[in-house]
């Protein structure tokens, strides 16, 4: 089989076809998010999601998370997490003000500003 | 003056210095090209008045013999770089009406070097995408079409407008940013050269943030020399970016030799993925043969964690994005959609202001960072990231540079692959690993797909060794002799 010949030349376990599988065919059903979880994520993310979009979004996010699950195969028992990719030492500097007094420039882009302040909806009732 | 848009950046520089052409003539020719090619939708904001003003100032400095590195050279800027007094959108509705009160460090360096601004180029919203289809300002057309039809193709992304502008001879060169392949993949799709330098080479100050541990500015040009020249003017230490490296910027363009004799070039077995088009495999082999013919030694290497790079990236990048994009709340800049109270105003503003792909990534990021899942996802991804970095470190004990294809396909049609986000993510399968490792990498146009579209080869180098990357790329450029104009241009 041509297919088998191609696969024989590949390093074990490296196929891209799981990435190309249609989203509604996730085989990692244990990872699926339900509507309630998606609603909670949308609240945490401060993005309003209409009720009718919750289910399709749950399917999309489940498929992406299902695909991500394969990281579980990698042994990372003694691996320190990588937080900064280049070993850069942060320099010291004098603790002095070197910029500022630009209230007008900063509030100029605000949807609503008054007298050097941002105008926001009432926060405390 | 007809023909001056055909010059490369370095050649135009030589002619300006020799006073054979003026910066104003060069600017006018490019502004004309920009107007002629508006159907590409490569620009979000055009800055013609600024271009002419800057060109006149450049001519004055040229006359006095005070030319900067890019004096009088018209370039385009990805609309992710904040430019003082010029609207900056990041391709998003949520930044409607935003005009930065400050200049990004990279663009400030370019203007100080005498470069002339043609405008701000289109991009995927917040640089999230590989097709330029997620832009609020509409898709960009690739100047290339398949020889047999005129159907619009994507330019790649996220820096699709910059790549299209350079390929279409609207700009001599352009800036881009690369988080997981956003310079290299569009360069490959548009038949031009694009380099992402080592993480920390260019300041991120004033670049709209996507994923801060990965974002890096870089350069597009129509040759390796042009790309090196632009990058040289962009790079350098900046105290305003705590991840910026305090290292001198080498004279990459001036030191270019294209010599690869004695270099060891790694060919990673794991980049042979199932289903890769035959033309791409053959081009990869051709690239290896060209380098061998110039005296390089080819070495089979292994990067065992390659297949985990994409899923790692799709935890780290959305997690960092969900945090970075929290600032778009409708209070200080951009769009605000009023609700009944503050919380509702936030939710409505962000629902209307962000597009589908950005929302999807923010929500993935929010989920993987949420209580109870942080260790399982984000921490796990940071550990796998170290495995990927270790793979490269081991490989670079044996080789000087690594040769791979840039992308697993040529440019696809506008609208294709849009229904499945994960299939779209596959575009970056060859570019994401080096992004996770922070390494310099370039894409050089080197051949054609079965449909007659440009294909790129990628050279990945050691950290801070852009010179070897550029020299290897120049050897490929000379051997490939890629000098075909996009079919879309007459």
The 10s digit of each residue's pLDDT in B121-138 is: 999 999 999 999 999 999
Instruction: Indicate whether A17 belongs to any domain.
Output: no
Q: Are A86 and B200 in contact (CB < 8 Å)?
A: yes
pLDDT score, position A7? 38
Asked if the structure places residue A65 within a domain, the reply is yes
Sheet strands side by side (includes B116-121): B43-46, B116-121, B74-78, B173-178, B216-221, B193-196, B441-448, B454-461, B401-405, B264-268, B297-301
CA distance B315 to chain A (A): 8
B78 classed as catalytic? yes
Kindly list the residues from chain A whose CB atom is less than 8 angstroms away from the CB atom of residue B437.
85
* Positive or negative: CA dihedral B368, B369, B371, B375: positive
Block residue for tokens 């180098």: B461
pLDDT reported for residue B488: 66
- Is pLDDT larger for residue B301 or for residue A100? B301
A81 and B386 within 8 Å at the Cβ level: the answer is yes
Domain boundaries, chain B: 4-259+441-480
Mark yes or no for CB contact A109/B99 under 8 Å.
Answer: yes
Distance between CA atoms of residues B378 and B431, nearest Å: 21
Please give the Cα distance from B240 to B203 (Å, whole number). 8
Pairing mode, if any, of strands B401-405 and B264-268? parallel
Q: Profile chain B (490 residues) by mean pLDDT over runs of 10 residues.
A: 81 97 98 97 98 98 97 98 98 97 97 98 96 96 92 95 98 98 98 98 98 97 98 96 94 98 97 87 96 98 95 96 97 96 96 97 96 93 97 98 96 79 81 98 97 96 98 98 80
Closest CA–CA distance from residue B359 to any residue of chain A (Å)? 8
Of B348, B347, B349, B330, the C-alpha closest to A112 is B330
Q: What is the pLDDT of residue B147?
A: 86
Q: What are phi and psi of B450, to 5 degrees?
A: -60, -30
Contact flag A46-B314 (C-beta cutoff 8 Å): no
**pLDDT at site B425:** 80
Give the nearest partner residue to A86 out of B199, B354, B422, using CB atoms: B199
| Inter-chain touch A79–B381, beta carbons under 8 Å | no
User: Do the Cβ atoms of B307 and A73 come closer than 8 Å?
Assistant: no
Structural domain tally of chain A? 1
Cα distance between residue B167 and residue B169, in whole Å: 5
Structure confidence at residue A2 (pLDDT): 35
Looking at residue A31, its pLDDT comes to 63
Q: Render pLDDT for A11-21 as a digit per residue (tens, 0 to 9).
A: 444 444 444 44
> Which one of B330, B363, B425 has the shortest CB-CB distance to A45?
B363
Q: Which of A10, A43, A121 sits opposite B274 (nearest CB)?
A: A10
Please name the helix (run of DSSP H) or strand (run of DSSP E) that holds residue B265, with its range, or none: strand B264-268
Taking CA atoms, A115 is separated from A99, A122, A123, B85, B99, in Å, by 21, 17, 19, 21, 20
User: Catalytic site residue B213?
Assistant: no
Residue A30's domain spans which residues?
A: 26-75
Q: Are B426 and A19 within 8 A, CB to CB? A: yes
| CB-nearest partner of A81 from B200, B242, B383 | B383
Query: What does the pLDDT read at residue A113?
Result: 95
CATH: 3.40.50.300, 3.90.1300.10, 3.40.190.10, 3.30.2420.10. Which one for B4-259+441-480? 3.90.1300.10
Using 50, 70 and 90 to split pLDDT, how confident is the model at A5? very low
Tell me: pLDDT of A22 over 80.
no
User: Is position A113 within any domain?
Assistant: no
Q: Computed over its alpha carbons, how large is the radius of gyration of chain B?
A: 21
């Amino acid at each position: 089989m041509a297919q088998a010949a191609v696969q024989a030349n590949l390093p074990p376990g490296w196929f891209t076809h799981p990435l190309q599988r249609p989203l509604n065919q996730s085989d990692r059903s244990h990872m699926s998010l339900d509507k309630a979880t998606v609603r909670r994520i949308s609240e945490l993310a401060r993005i309003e999601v209409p009720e009718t979009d919750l289910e399709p979004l749950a399917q999309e996010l489940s498929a992406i998370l299902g695909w991500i699950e394969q990281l579980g195969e990698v042994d990372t028992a003694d691996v320190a997490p990588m937080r900064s990719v280049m070993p850069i030492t942060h320099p010291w500097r004098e603790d002095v003000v070197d910029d500022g007094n630009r209230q007008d420039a900063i509030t100029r882009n605000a949807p609503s500003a008054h007298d050097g302040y941002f105008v926001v909806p009432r926060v405390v009732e | 003056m007809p023909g001056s848009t055909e010059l490369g950046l370095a050649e135009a520089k030589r002619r300006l210095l020799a006073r054979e052409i003026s910066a104003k003539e060069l600017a006018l020719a490019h502004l004309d090209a920009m107007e002629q090619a508006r159907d590409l939708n490569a620009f979000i904001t055009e800055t013609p008045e600024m271009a002419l003003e800057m060109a006149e100032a450049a001519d004055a400095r040229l006359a006095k013999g005070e030319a900067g590195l890019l004096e009088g050279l018209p370039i385009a800027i990805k609309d992710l770089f904040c430019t003082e007094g010029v609207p900056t959108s990041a391709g998003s509705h949520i930044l409607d009406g935003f005009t930065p009160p400050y200049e990004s460090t990279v663009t400030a360096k370019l203007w100080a070097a005498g470069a002339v601004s043609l405008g701000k180029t289109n991009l995927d919203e917040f640089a999230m995408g590989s097709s330029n289809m997620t832009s609020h300002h509409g898709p960009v057309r690739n100047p290339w079409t398949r020889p047999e039809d005129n159907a619009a193709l994507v330019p790649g992304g996220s820096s699709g407008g910059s790549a299209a502008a350079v390929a279409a001879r609207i700009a001599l060169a352009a800036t881009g940013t690369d988080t997981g392949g956003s310079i290299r993949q569009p360069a490959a799709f548009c038949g031009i050269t694009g380099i992402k330098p080592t993480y920390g080479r260019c300041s991120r100050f004033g670049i709209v943030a996507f994923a801060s541990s990965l974002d890096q500015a870089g350069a597009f040009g129509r040759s390796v020399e042009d790309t090196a020249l632009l990058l040289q003017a962009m790079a350098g230490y900046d105290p305003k970016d705590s991840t910026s490296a305090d290292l001198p910027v080498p004279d990459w363009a001036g030191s270019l030799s294209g010599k690869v004799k004695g270099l060891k070039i790694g060919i990673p077995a794991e980049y042979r993925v199932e289903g890769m088009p035959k033309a791409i495999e053959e081009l990869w082999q051709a690239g290896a043969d060209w380098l061998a013919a110039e005296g390089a030694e080819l070495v089979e290497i292994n990067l065992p964690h390659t297949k985990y790079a994409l899923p790692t990236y799709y935890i780290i990048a959305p997690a960092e994005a969900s945090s970075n994009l929290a600032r778009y709340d409708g209070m200080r800049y951009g769009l605000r959609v009023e609700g009944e109270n503050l919380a509702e105003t936030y939710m409505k503003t962000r629902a209307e202001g962000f597009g589908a792909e950005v929302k999807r990534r923010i929500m993935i990021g929010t989920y993987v960072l949420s209580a109870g899942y942080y260790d399982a996802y984000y921490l796990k991804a940071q550990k796998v990231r170290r495995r990927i970095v270790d793979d490269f470190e081991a490989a670079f004990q044996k080789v000087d540079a690594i040769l791979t294809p840039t992308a697993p396909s040529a440019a696809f049609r506008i609208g294709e692959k849009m229904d499945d986000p994960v299939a779209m993510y596959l575009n970056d399968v060859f570019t994401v690993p080096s992004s996770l490792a922070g390494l310099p990498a370039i894409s050089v146009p080197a051949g054609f797909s079965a449909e007659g579209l440009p294909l790129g080869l990628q050279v990945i180098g050691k950290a801070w060794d852009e010179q070897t990357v550029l020299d290897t790329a120049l050897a490929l450029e000379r051997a490939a002799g890629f000098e075909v104009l996009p079919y879309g241009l007459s």
